[in-house]
Amino acid sequence: MNRFVLTISVLVAVSALTACGADTVRTEGREALSGATSYPLTVENCGTEVTFDRAPERILLTGSAQVPYLDDLGVVDRIISRAGVFPEGYFSDELQQQVESVPLLTDRVDASGHLKISSETIIDEEPDLLLGIPDGVDRAVLKSAGINAIDEPAMCNESSEKPNPSFEKIYERMRFYGEIFDRNDEAQAAVEALQADVAAALEGLPDLKGQTVAVLWPEAGAGTFYAYGRQSMSFVQTEALGLTNVYDDVDERVFESTLEALLGRDPDILVLLYDGRDPQVPLDAIEQIPGANDLAAVREGRIMTQLFNFSEPPTPLSIEGLHKIAEFVVQ
């Protein structure tokens, strides 16, 4: 992947941490770990302890978000099945072909983009790791079948804690996966490249203070939309660029909003997230809401469509998405 394989060397301060055994629970926020992982390894994910007796060998993947982690760690070839929507545009042609060569179980999603798949279908594939836990899939049922499950913290349904996303959380997550797969050195090299990529995205930007933005997920044909607040990676992206998110007073990741509320905030720019099937769909969805033409962003055509995982959840794809938003707002 073009920006994820940078070889730029960046000086960062890191602390050497000791690999842990079964009696120690590793949290998801971590600094660099050098050397080999010691198994059994117990990590905490969404408030649940998950123990690995060895590095996972059979991955069932439920979306595009985690692919950059696996690619940077050199373990994409361990994906044995996938489910969900894997649109073109996220990866290099080579990586896209590699992902598409993996058998697809289902791409059935609801109007909000949530994958529909059963625990039984997952168990039948006999993975040792499920990456991404779809709604309705029971982690305990999978565990009883010998399957570990890891979700992205921002997507946790099992925890009441706020995700508090940041670029640093992406770096921590890379180290988290590096430890699970015993690819700690590769993880730290990837972190340094990602840090350089964030710096490059923000370098030389004009002063955008005073410009406002809203990041939305419009529901096709429903006349409604979801908005992203302070607990979203979308907020982190726009704030880093110097934009003011009009929902900066909402301490939630995503929530249903109304056109009346949006008109009261009247953002200069709209970023519309979509699942990758057709970028025209979110444009039509927002413009078909009665009164949408009263929004300044709609009248002036300052609307950007963005593939969902370029913003949510926090992953290396969000850093690619940072570049894309920057390019749009300065044009």
- Sequence letter at residue 286: I
Query: Could you give the percent of the chain with pLDDT greater than 70?
Result: 88
For residue 28, give every residue at least 6 positions away whose Cβ sits within 8 Å of its Cβ, in sequence order, or none.
43, 44, 45, 153, 172, 173, 176
Answer with the one of 165, 199, 233 that is the final residue of a domain: 199
Q: What is the secondary structure of 169-183 as a DSSP string?
A: HHHHHHHHHHHHTT-
Q: In the structure, what pLDDT confidence band is assigned to residue 24 with cuts at 50, 70 and 90?
A: very low
Residue 207 in domain: no
- Partnered with residue 228 across adjacent β-strands are 254
Is the pLDDT reported for residue 301 higher than 60? yes
Listed residue (180, 178, 124, 117) closest to 147, CA to CA? 124
Task: Please state, in angstroms and as integers, the Cα–Cα distance from residue 243 to each residue in 19, 78, 81, 268, 316, following that order.
Answer: 40, 40, 39, 10, 21
Listed residue (264, 198, 182, 211) closest to 237, CA to CA? 198
pLDDT at 28: 56
Are 29 and 62 found together in one domain?
A: yes
Beta strands in the chain (DSSP E): 25-26, 41-45, 48-52, 59-61, 79-82, 129-131, 148-150, 212-219, 224-228, 244-245, 254-257, 269-274, 303-307
Residue 76 in domain: yes
Residue 85 in domain: yes
Query: Could you give the percent of the chain with pLDDT greater than 90?
Result: 81
Are 89 and 192 found together in one domain?
A: yes
What's the structural domain count of the chain? 2
Mean of the pLDDT values across residues 176-203?
A: 98
CATH assignment at residue 29? 3.40.50.1980
Is the pLDDT reported for residue 144 higher than 50? yes
Least confident of 25-39, 115-129, 157-171: 25-39
Are 274 and 183 found together in one domain?
A: no
Is the pLDDT reported for residue 33 higher than 50? yes
- Sequence letter at residue 278: D
- Sequence letter at residue 204: G
Is the pLDDT reported for residue 21 higher than 60? no
Beta strands in 116-207 (DSSP E): 129-131, 148-150
Is the pLDDT reported for residue 25 higher than 60? no
Are 284 and 169 found together in one domain?
A: no
Average pLDDT, the chain: 90
Residue 117 in domain: yes
Is 149:129 a contact under the CB 8 Å cutoff?
A: yes
This prediction has a pTM of 0.88
Mean of the pLDDT values across residues 2-21?
A: 35
Answer with the one of 141, 172, 199 that is the final residue of a domain: 199
CA dihedral (98, 102, 104, 109) in degrees, to 10, reads -40
Kind of pairing between the strands at 48-52 and 41-45: antiparallel
Residue 84 in domain: yes
Are 217 and 137 found together in one domain?
A: no
Are 165 and 239 found together in one domain?
A: no
Give the C-alpha separation, 219 to 252, whole Å. 19
Are 27 and 163 found together in one domain?
A: yes
Tens digit of each residue's pLDDT (9 = 90 or more) over 71-85: 999 999 999 999 999
Phi, psi (5° rounding) for residue 38?
-100, 125
pLDDT at 277: 76
Tens digit of each residue's pLDDT (9 = 90 or more) over 79-138: 999 999 999 999 999 999 999 999 999 999 887 778 999 999 999 999 999 999 999 999
Helix then strand then coil, % of the chain, to nearest 5:
35, 20, 45
What is the domain extent for residue 320?
212-329
Is the pLDDT reported for residue 307 higher than 60? yes
Is the pLDDT reported for residue 17 higher than 90? no
Is 67:315 a contact under the CB 8 Å cutoff?
A: no
Largest CA distance in the chain: 59
Mean of the pLDDT values across residues 178-192?
A: 98
Tens digit of each residue's pLDDT (9 = 90 or more) over 262-281: 999 999 999 999 988 789 99
Residue 206 in domain: no
Least confident of 152-156, 222-226, 237-241, 294-298: 222-226
Are 192 and 325 found together in one domain?
A: no
Give the C-alpha separation, 309 to 66, whole Å. 10
